């Protein structure tokens, strides 16, 4: 059935139009986020995949294909989304549960590289410098479109201890991870000298700094807090081990 749908652009358009019309119940000619949620749920059910039960992932999917940023998916935008999702299904990648998040769609499907060759400053405003290491700089930045804060790590290729292929493997690994206790990678850019990695901003600081600060002040961390931290760390480790 999937092979038939992908056999030609005409078939893909026809199938996409059927799904679009079925769930386009509010504003004529466009899908809202709520309508897309119902459509994806039905599409996953139709091909035997688990439901897309992650609101953040659904929103990322919606925003990725809402190219004119008007808050709805018009038919051509939806058709691009539909074609990409069906190709992912055809590859059978999204049903390999040990390599995919529970929603059934690879997280790295939503991660862009380079945005057609442009640079981070085209999309992000630098707020402040957070730190500097042996291999590069770290900045707090704000995405122009969403006003969301991100952390930008600038890795100098020449100074990096990793060979280029190992650095790429590290990025590919981070792209595939989606867990509440693991810092998320949103997108990355690359030029001749540097790799620019946009990651989730963590406001709580370094765990070691918290422990040392409390130790120096003579404050004993309570067992409940320690148990929570250890539990979160073990959940993250278990998640990674299950993937790899």
Residues 40 and 95 in one domain: yes
pLDDT at 1: 44
Residue 43, classified by CB atoms within 10 Å of its CB into exposed (0-12), middle (13-18) or buried (19+), is middle
Residues 154 and 183 in one domain: yes
Residues 100 and 8 in one domain: yes
CB-CB neighbours of 33 under 10 Å: 16
Whole-Å CA distances, 192 to 97, 99, 181, 218, 220: 36, 31, 33, 49, 49
User: What is the band of 224 on the pLDDT scale with cuts at 50, 70, 90?
Assistant: confident
Which of 78, 109, 140 lies at the terminal end of a domain, its last residue? 109
Q: Residue 173 pLDDT > 60, yes or no?
A: yes
For residue 153, what is the domain's CATH number? Answer: 3.30.200.20
Residues 164 and 223 in one domain: no
Q: For residue 94, give both structure tokens.
A: 């999204």
State the chain's mean pLDDT as an integer. Answer: 78
Q: Residue 125 pLDDT > 90, yes or no?
A: yes
Residues 14 and 100 in one domain: yes
Q: Residue 130 pLDDT > 50, yes or no?
A: yes
Residues 30 and 44 in one domain: yes
Query: DSSP labels for 153-174?
Result: EEEETTT-SS-HHHHHHHHHHH
Which of 76, 109, 142 lies at the terminal end of a domain, its last residue? 109
Q: What is the pLDDT of residues 184-219, one digit of tens each?
A: 888 888 888 888 999 988 877 788 888 888 888 888
Q: State the total domains in the chain.
A: 3
Residues 11 and 94 in one domain: yes
Residues 193 and 211 in one domain: no
Among residues 114, 244, 239, which one has the least CA distance to residue 183?
A: 239
pLDDT at 48: 55
pLDDT at 217: 86
Mean pLDDT of 124-141: 88
Q: What is the pLDDT of residues 31-66, one digit of tens each?
A: 999 999 888 888 776 655 555 667 787 888 888 889
Which of 75, 109, 143 lies at the terminal end of a domain, its last residue? 109
pTM beyond cutoff 0.85? no
User: What is the band of 101 on the pLDDT scale with cuts at 50, 70, 90?
Assistant: very low
Residues 160 and 100 in one domain: no
Q: What is the pLDDT of residues 10-38, one digit of tens each?
A: 777 888 888 899 998 888 889 999 999 88
Query: Residue 228's domain spans which residues?
Result: 207-243
Residues 8 and 105 in one domain: yes
More confident site: 11 or 113: 11
């Amino acid at each position: 059935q999937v092979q038939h749908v992908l056999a030609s652009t005409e078939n893909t358009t026809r199938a996409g139009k059927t799904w679009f019309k079925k769930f386009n119940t509010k504003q004529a000619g466009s899908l809202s986020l709520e309508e897309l949620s119902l459509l994806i749920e039905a599409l996953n059910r139709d091909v035997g995949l688990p439901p897309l039960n992650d609101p953040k992932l659904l929103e990322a999917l919606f925003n990725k294909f809402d190219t004119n940023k008007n808050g709805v998916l018009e038919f051509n935008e939806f058709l691009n989304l539909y074609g990409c999702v069906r190709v992912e299904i055809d590859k059978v990648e999204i049903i390999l549960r040990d390599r995919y998040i529970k929603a059934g769609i690879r997280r790295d499907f939503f991660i862009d590289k380079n945005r057609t060759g442009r640079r981070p400053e085209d999309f992000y405003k630098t707020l402040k410098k957070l730190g500097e290491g042996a291999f590069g700089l770290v900045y707090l930045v704000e995405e122009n479109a969403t006003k969301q804060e991100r952390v930008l790590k600038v890795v100098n290729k020449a100074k990096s201890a990793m060979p280029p292929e190992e650095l790429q493997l590290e990025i590919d690994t981070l792209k595939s991870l989606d867990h509440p206790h693991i810092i998320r990678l949103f997108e990355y850019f690359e030029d001749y000298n540097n790799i620019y990695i946009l990651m989730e901003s963590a406001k709580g600081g370094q765990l070691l700094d918290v422990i040392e600060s409390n130790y120096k002040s003579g404050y004993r961390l309570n067992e409940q807090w320690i148990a929570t931290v250890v539990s979160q760390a073990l959940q993250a480790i278990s998640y990674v081990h299950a993937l790899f």
